[in-house]
Structure 1
């Protein structure tokens, strides 16, 4: 990959072999996908948020997220440089079912996904869990703790989502950079372990 000095400090147009790792951040409407991508991205994240209008009334369920004023209509994009030769690219999906047609494009080539869950609206993340299970894409389930401690145990959440025992479940606060990074680390470890398992 050719890089310019202005972009990353490479000298004399040196050739740098970079490993690009694509990660998808998915989940239901209002689970915190844009917030997570924004909290960990080293660049100003690209977002495609639009204002929720009266046209969405009766279409978008804002129960427990009544203060939400914007929604992602295409994707969120962020980047994290792990080392000079490894870069993570984060792609956040839109949550509403009318935008699910974009998920195939966003998930293509991904090494794995974080499925964000809001336990107040657990059903909004069923589709994301099903999507990655059916395609055999490694994923972790991240319970976004919007309001402090979760009222449910890990076993209760696993049972409600019908998670495979091999799927990691982690707790996070998508607003907090360190917490979001730990969710990403859990995903990368899970994806690497999957790669080591013989077919």
Structure 2
């Protein structure tokens, strides 16, 4: 639940019903329901460790820093969805909700909804091509094996063992193809971990 001030009246509504433009009120023990700009503050301290990695609570102030060009740890004029108020109280103007919040952006990245990089797209295309070529080779090997199962009339019996070669080739292709595709995809995925707040370090220790 969230405390929302609408029409001069403060009421509790489900956090999912908070929309940009609402004025919210938060106090110690409240979970911030949306990304918002601080309007009024009273000795506020917010636990933002899930976003910034900072163990100390973050102080907030009216007119403080904010905006996408400022590291998360330095945005002392904003509240972030999902963070916990540990002391004080504040009112704030909601700017972003849901997937548009900083927490929603990180969750989207962890779920893989971010667009692929050009390198990842090229590797994925190469992997698909190799898979198609391998399937074509497999089909050819199987066809050869089936044809040689019935030797032509009067053919020497020495030709009969040839299908074993075809089956061995088919089996080798079936086993090696996924291994080769994994090897091609590995460079693009091995370093794709996401570290929330990894590049948003605090410029200085804040004791607020």
TM-score (norm. length: structure 1): 0.23
Q: Which has the higher strand share?
A: 1
- State the structure with more CA Rg: 2
